[in-house]
Structure 1
């Protein structure tokens, strides 16, 4: 730990940081790992948990994502050649099992050394000729950790992969996995500010009712293109207006996967606790493969981060999901318009379907028009009628010009802009957002007409589009990295931890006895 930070001033809570990777560039991944390593937190109490979603070579990369990360890490000698194990994954019928292996090591940066667990989803032998062996999506990557923590916290049967995780986490950190209190989820292209982690942990500690929270996401590639420039103020008002208002009711409806923290369990008293992120109800529903309707496809395939928040609010409506303004991260946003179209199509459609789920939950905070349920209803209506609102605004302009009452229309628009200026002055210390507001207003037809219309027109499109690119040539993909061991059996056995431990020690003793016998034979010759 850096000498600049006193251990006694830092919370002692153990935190797992889940980093989901797919086809990111080396520079993006390194920036994320560097920022998390430099976080003002005790290095011994934070664990970087990286999940690589398949054997993927990203566009512009010469190595697979897993090999890129392995080259960054200092892998422990006892985990340098891990065995790949079978686990239950999410996907179609032939993709509901997968293989993954676990590495353990450390990430070193700027005199800091942080423990790291790397899970590589390498795929089954039947996927050896696929372009993306082992790829099951971000939800599956999240579920690897969620199922593992649920098995540990609830003392349930675990798979061989989960036991391998348990064993390696303890061997690496000397901390039992059930001692971790919080899970911070970030994307592999997110740069977290140094003090964000400690601010999020303190917010959790100060209010035990909080089951999840998020911080402010800012844009790192502001000036890359006009597409990135029009998104800056939109991100600002989404957080400082949208999430801030929802946070008053304790019901932020979307904790973004790029930067959110969840409580693993809530301690009820000395003996009992309530599982939250690890709740069987949450884990079972989130891992469902029953995705056979338009509604469920929009929930599971397009907005898994938002749906996880929805599940938490549905199952624990009396608890809080909040936004804190002083926890900040930076991320890269789409710099091309067709990529922005693809991203917002997913976001808008998943928003509508998640709000439809939440509007049916009457137990949320408040009553009548002062309730979170009413706020969600307003959000749902406003999202749907955005294009109509824009058309009516144009109609008002035309009628105003014809009738001579254009000043009334301009006055309404001025009030709308004036309130946004007041918002900027009250919530931001930078007047530069006034400039970004003007850029945003110039792109008003894009945000309020073009993007919603495009999303509604593609309501049955469940692909991720051009958001992430990979190399298309099949020769760039291979099944197992040279350090993986193949397993001939594709079985899935679940046992309690003590059963796995007994079996391991029994086999270890057998191997030791066999070695002793061999040594005695050699010695007897002399």
Structure 2
């Protein structure tokens, strides 16, 4: 096989670079041919430009350029085209897993694996891009056909594998403007590519974007059809032309999204109305509210009820069974209270100073007023002709007849406890009075012939104090024709101030004066008056529903209370030492993590957008000084577009370069990659910066990727912006490519990342085992990496683990203080609760570490680097000087052919590791979905960091998520109410839609996951109306609406008190203030 030699003449070079002869003469040529070198003249073309069409001007300086991991070149026996060894080009002596260097002088190779660099007769290993490029209608089908069928010729290989580069080609340095954009009106297409033959249909299909191809075979599911139909039914009265011309919704997707949004509003209103209807009405059907009867209705000739001490009674059903029922049934419409006298509660046996009723004992016996009460009782009986008493037996013999107005005795008395109990079965309800009736029928007790009743009102209850005041006073002559009454202290068993208030307040409401005038035991005397003088209640104070006892309402609110208690107690119990050892702590010693020979390689990914410079400085500094070997960690920043903070004068990436101390003099060339954008933004360009960040004793390598956009975006404000999901995909896809360089295809950007990481920073990207993703406004503690890596190393089931995030500016103003307790509930309490259950479905996407790969077999100590089918080396010192090879046949898999020496660089995949977060299935599930519905727009554009854990659990159902409370980060929270409102709105939408997405996946990975996801969805939907109702409960509690609301309010106040108790127990006194403020 012929091979290229740098000392060959121009004719030999033309043999590799001559354009195909069958190019159409009438086809317009590109203004800048990517195969032309700007440094060569006389029509000569550089082989390095042929091998890497994305090479920049400095790549052509072969004497000063840093050596790159090269791929061998040879002439294909089929097409005579210059290409790397692959299925279209091979040598008899080539071995799988080797890379051939043809010269001592480094050349500029094509991207490693960018041309499909697998070897003959090997089945193709498919990656996430291959799966998304399939035109099969089944999205989960993996194609495993040979490369010869898929790519018949070398030139069609170029077309297929470089679809992104053909779409938007980088331009030579002299044609770029200050921002790296071409100063020409150029829109390349597939027809601009030189082909020896017309590309096949498969090659043309590969040109289209990932998302479009993925959507071509996607079928609309039945739930989606039902939801779309429901959304249309909710908004059918608004036709499309109104949305088009009035709402300015130009696309079908925007109009359908609006309809779905309105349908969700209707559903939320319906659910809120149903919850309110349940709490206010349905719960009242499960209780038995007391019945009320007007006094004028009961005491009337047509009434079938009788009154007994403020109760409406009907004993007609039991008239033939007992004397009591028969006697009561004789007098419907009458007041039978004299037959059931309450003053007998003051009777006691001789020598016994206690009363049988506790209330009477408390207000009389305990205050040594027994003898006063005895004198009142004797006076009361002796001066009432309606009662007949046998003093020898100490009992009533007869009571007043109901028809005699209480002056004629002859009716039986029912004063025994058994009689009172039997009367209870005939009670139908309480009597109600109006204020006007009480005032009009009041009595001033001027003489012995009492006209009217001495009623008073206290706390909505009506008391008849006529008999008490008559027996506690004497009638006296004030003048010849005027009589008055004088209180007698010897017969006044109630306090003088209370008795005076009762006498002066007849016919009135004495509630406003009662508490202030009865200075001692005011509530005690109310209970005593209930036993002796109760006659009913006011109509305006009667219970209209289940205000006293509402079991259904208690059960509903009790379930919510128990859920809160369960979550709060679990999250706080997780702080106990034995629970921490069981849930979070690892048995391994963390000290070996500091050792550079033992610590696994870890990438620290920081997606950036438009953060403030001081915040970025704190973030970079905190990550650089973490207690982790500098040689085992690497900072990687991905700037999402050329944007800047409102308070900054320069773009964010320039500020980061200054903070990192970047001292490069030459601007890196734009590198193309297939982004997750839509339409004209499917292809994006990025620049790669690298170096070492030095601070104190730390010297940490870093990579900075700046997405600058394609030439069509040069006039846009947010050039290159593709979102956080795209930023994560840059790192994840790059690491996935590195898992198998021999079989995977990489983009120019990924090639540049590999080149700078491997050659400039001295780190093989295939060694990265973990990746920490952290927001650019979050600072971490020094032990964060040790804590997270230790948990992942000692628990192979963990695929991702999140830390605890706290506010970095908690006391800046009131707005930041309002966010402290919600952050605690969301990032600690909620995560600790799920961790205790062992079924985490939520992680903090702004502070999480992912497992890139893991060992196939668990050993005593996990490995820190993957083993490969062939060993590899990076530095020139590893060259075998004693084993110089001169022929391809003599080369084995440990050596490569060079003109002067041989070097090892294995492209073989690792043989003892399994891909986790960079598994092709994971990346396909994460990158393929398109934001073409309202639901997916909220999932992918707002909650992409929460969507990735869902993809991980779906792709790896045997793995789980974790939480490490000792890994603490500090995030900068919004300091204005407007920003806070926007953040909370975005968070609410993100949580709801991601929990809906989790519900779809949870049924496949476990019942506990489904229960957690369902409760979180239910909490998101119902919590606003429940919180509003809870506020109304507290309002009713403070105004004294009823016992039912008092019980609920006290229970939830107990929950608040328990929160405060936990904070005090941990001596977090500031959290108590912040909790009360919240």
Instruction: Give the TM-score range, shorter chain.
Output: 0.7 to 0.9
Deviation at 1:209, TM superposition (A): 0.8
Instruction: Give the equivalent residue in structure 1 for 2:783.
Output: 195
Instruction: Give the equivalent residue in structure 1 for 2:1003.
Output: 362
- Relative to 1, partners in 2 of residues 1:123 and 1:191: Cα closer, same or farther, differing over 3 Å? same
Are the aligned partners of 2:592 and 2:598 in contact in 1 as well (CA < 8 Å)? no
Instruction: Give the equivalent residue in structure 2 for 1:432.
Output: 1070
Separation (CA, whole Å) in 1 of partners of 2:983 and 2:657: 30
Within a 5 Å distance, the mapping from 1:114-125 to structure 2 comes to 114-125=700-711
Within a 5 Å distance, the mapping from 1:398-477 to structure 2 comes to 398-400=1035-1037, 401-424=1040-1063, 428-440=1066-1078
- Relative to 1, partners in 2 of residues 1:429 and 1:251: Cα closer, same or farther, differing over 3 Å? farther
> In the alignment, does 2:1021 pair up with 1:388?
no
1:341 is paired with a residue whose SS is: helix
Q: 2:1012 aligns with which of 375, 380, 389?
A: 375
Bigger mean CA offset, 12-21 vs 345-354:
345-354
Structure in which a larger fraction of residues adopt helix: 1
Instruction: Give the equivalent residue in structure 1 for 2:670.
Output: 84
Instruction: Give the equivalent residue in structure 2 for 1:326.
Output: 966
Q: Deviations over 1:285-336 (max 9, x none)?
A: 2223621111111110111110111111222222111111100010111111
Instruction: Give the equivalent residue in structure 1 for 2:914.
Output: 274
Deviation at 1:226, TM superposition (A): 1.2
Separation (CA, whole Å) in 2 of partners of 1:397 and 1:425: 25
1:385 is paired with a residue whose SS is: helix
Separation (CA, whole Å) in 1 of partners of 2:714 and 2:973: 33
Deviation at 1:17, TM superposition (A): 0.3
Instruction: Give the equivalent residue in structure 1 for 2:619.
Output: 32
> In the alignment, does 2:804 pair up with 1:216?
yes
Q: 2:821 aligns with which of 224, 229, 233?
A: 233
Deviation at 1:100, TM superposition (A): 0.4
Separation (CA, whole Å) in 2 of partners of 1:316 and 1:249: 19
> In the alignment, does 2:781 pair up with 1:143?
no
Instruction: Give the equivalent residue in structure 1 for 2:504.
Output: none
Deviation at 1:342, TM superposition (A): 1.0
Instruction: Give the equivalent residue in structure 2 for 1:53.
Output: 640
Instruction: Give the equivalent residue in structure 2 for 1:62.
Output: 649
Deviation at 1:405, TM superposition (A): 4.8
Instruction: Give the equivalent residue in structure 2 for 1:111.
Output: 697
Separation (CA, whole Å) in 1 of partners of 2:660 and 2:824: 35
- Relative to 1, partners in 2 of residues 1:6 and 1:264: Cα closer, same or farther, differing over 3 Å? closer
Separation (CA, whole Å) in 2 of partners of 1:54 and 1:11: 37
> In the alignment, does 2:931 pair up with 1:291?
yes
Deviation at 1:108, TM superposition (A): 1.3
Bigger mean CA offset, 353-362 vs 322-331:
353-362
Instruction: Give the equivalent residue in structure 2 for 1:163.
Output: 751
1:387 is paired with a residue whose SS is: helix
2:844 is paired with a residue whose SS is: coil
- Relative to 1, partners in 2 of residues 1:6 and 1:295: Cα closer, same or farther, differing over 3 Å? closer
- Relative to 1, partners in 2 of residues 1:389 and 1:312: Cα closer, same or farther, differing over 3 Å? same
Deviation at 1:10, TM superposition (A): 8.3
Separation (CA, whole Å) in 1 of partners of 2:811 and 2:964: 26
- Relative to 1, partners in 2 of residues 1:418 and 1:105: Cα closer, same or farther, differing over 3 Å? same
1:181 is paired with a residue whose SS is: strand
Deviation at 1:364, TM superposition (A): 3.2
Separation (CA, whole Å) in 2 of partners of 1:350 and 1:154: 35
- Relative to 1, partners in 2 of residues 1:319 and 1:199: Cα closer, same or farther, differing over 3 Å? same
Instruction: Give the equivalent residue in structure 2 for 1:349.
Output: 989
Separation (CA, whole Å) in 2 of partners of 1:154 and 1:362: 33
Instruction: Give the equivalent residue in structure 2 for 1:309.
Output: 949
Separation (CA, whole Å) in 1 of partners of 2:592 and 2:833: 34
Separation (CA, whole Å) in 1 of partners of 2:801 and 2:647: 34
Separation (CA, whole Å) in 1 of partners of 2:990 and 2:787: 29
Instruction: Give the equivalent residue in structure 1 for 2:682.
Output: 96
Deviation at 1:429, TM superposition (A): 4.9
Deviation at 1:98, TM superposition (A): 0.5
2:693 is paired with a residue whose SS is: strand
Separation (CA, whole Å) in 2 of partners of 1:279 and 1:349: 29
> After TM superposition, which residue ranges in structure 1, 4 or more long, deviate above 6 angstroms?
none
Instruction: Give the equivalent residue in structure 1 for 2:380.
Output: none
Deviation at 1:114, TM superposition (A): 0.6
Are the aligned partners of 1:220 and 1:331 in contact in 2 as well (CA < 8 Å)? yes
Are the aligned partners of 2:595 and 2:629 in contact in 1 as well (CA < 8 Å)? no
Separation (CA, whole Å) in 2 of partners of 1:84 and 1:438: 53
Separation (CA, whole Å) in 2 of partners of 1:139 and 1:305: 7
Separation (CA, whole Å) in 1 of partners of 2:754 and 2:672: 15
Identify the structure with bigger relative contact order (alpha carbons < 8 Å, sequence gap 6+): 1
Are the aligned partners of 1:7 and 1:42 in contact in 2 as well (CA < 8 Å)? yes
Q: Deviations over 1:368-390 (max 9, x none)?
A: xxx23212211111111011212
Separation (CA, whole Å) in 2 of partners of 1:377 and 1:306: 16
Deviation at 1:424, TM superposition (A): 3.2
Q: Which runs of 5+ in 1 are unaligned?
A: 441-526
> In the alignment, does 2:660 pair up with 1:73?
yes
Let me know the Cα RMSD of the aligned residues. 2.2
- Relative to 1, partners in 2 of residues 1:299 and 1:7: Cα closer, same or farther, differing over 3 Å? closer
Instruction: Give the equivalent residue in structure 1 for 2:86.
Output: none
Separation (CA, whole Å) in 2 of partners of 1:320 and 1:376: 15
Bigger mean CA offset, 8-17 vs 383-392:
8-17
Are the aligned partners of 1:91 and 1:289 in contact in 2 as well (CA < 8 Å)? no
Are the aligned partners of 1:425 and 1:431 in contact in 2 as well (CA < 8 Å)? yes
Q: Deviations over 1:85-141 (max 9, x none)?
A: 111112221111100011110111123111011111111111111111111111111
2:688 is paired with a residue whose SS is: strand
Separation (CA, whole Å) in 1 of partners of 2:847 and 2:597: 21
2:800 is paired with a residue whose SS is: strand
> In the alignment, does 2:648 pair up with 1:8?
no
- Higher Cα radius of gyration: 2
Bigger mean CA offset, 235-244 vs 321-330:
235-244
Instruction: Give the equivalent residue in structure 1 for 2:769.
Output: 181
Deviation at 1:21, TM superposition (A): 1.1
- Relative to 1, partners in 2 of residues 1:252 and 1:172: Cα closer, same or farther, differing over 3 Å? farther
Separation (CA, whole Å) in 2 of partners of 1:363 and 1:322: 19
Deviation at 1:73, TM superposition (A): 2.6
Q: How many residues align structurally?
A: 431
- Give the alignment's TM-score, normalised by structure 2: 0.39
Deviation at 1:182, TM superposition (A): 0.4
Instruction: Give the equivalent residue in structure 1 for 2:352.
Output: none
Structure in which a larger fraction of residues adopt strand: 1
